[in-house]
Amino acid sequence: MLYELLCKELNPRKGKIREMSLQNNKYWKIIFDVSWKGNFHFIVVELLFRRGGYYYVERDQQAISLTYWFNQIDHELVKKMQRMIDEIDHGKYRNKKTLSEKIHLFVEQKGLVSYMNNTKWHELFNALNENIPTIDLQYKTIFDDESPDVYWDLYGDEEIEHMNLAQIEWLKIKPVKTEYTHIGMLVSPQIRTYDKKGEILKILH
């Protein structure tokens, strides 16, 4: 097993190797977790649907390093993992901010005010999914340099399910939906326009 292999090959230094974590889902599971004072962790995750996994440093259950992917455990990978463990042990990540801290700092510096929270965002997205799942929307995060210039639907968004929703600066919902039905090469497509403004306002209220 990868856990036994990593326990044998890696030196946790001043860190403590934790018991096998229960943190997992149908796609991945944490197979190796070294913890230090200050709630720093070196995490190795195994993918369940394909070979390989990834590793990173976290604090307060938030990644504070880049995520590094691997296909198999070999000598070179063990050296890279050990280097990251040594860096944690020597305090390299002591001043690294978590995403929540970066968001809080940005909001404070810009004098922004929060009108939403995770519960409200999830209620909104769930209601849109249930009632008008193909409605178009766009949003800008506080870390985006420019506003998006296209709309997309929730099914086409691969990030929002895993995103810290506190970083959303604003959200726009496009009330008019236009659908085109192809009829033939020589015939113009059939165009149908739906105005969902009433349904959107009902959801928002």
pLDDT > 90 in the chain, percent? 66
pLDDT (mean) for 77-82: 97
**Average model confidence (pLDDT) across the chain:** 91
Which of 29, 53, 55, 54 is closest to 42 using CA atoms?
Answer: 55
The set of residues, in sequence order, having a beta carbon less than 8 Å from that of 99 and lying 6+ positions away, is 62, 63, 164, 167
- pLDDT tens digit string along 129-185? 999 988 899 999 999 999 999 999 887 787 887 888 999 999 999 999 888 788 777
- Distance from C-alpha of 39 to C-alpha of 55, rounded to nearest angstrom: 17
Task: Taking residues 22-31, report their average pLDDT.
Answer: 79
Q: By three-state DSSP, how is residue 36 classified? A: strand
Digit-coded pLDDT (tens) for 90-128:
999 999 999 999 999 999 999 988 889 889 999 999 999
Give the whole-angstrom CA distance, residue 156 versus residue 160: 10
Asked if 196 contacts 135 with a C-beta cutoff of 8 angstroms, the reply is yes
- 54: which residues sit within 8 A by CB, 6+ positions away? 44, 45, 47, 67, 68, 69, 70
Using CB atoms within 10 A of its CB, is residue 157 exposed (0-12), middle (13-18) or buried (19+)?
middle
- The pLDDT value recorded for residue 83 is 98
**Domains of the chain, residue spans:** 2-96, 110-204
**Rounded CA separation 43/59 (Å):** 10
Which residues are CB-contacts of 65 (< 8 A; sequence separation ≥ 6)? 56, 57, 58, 84, 93, 96
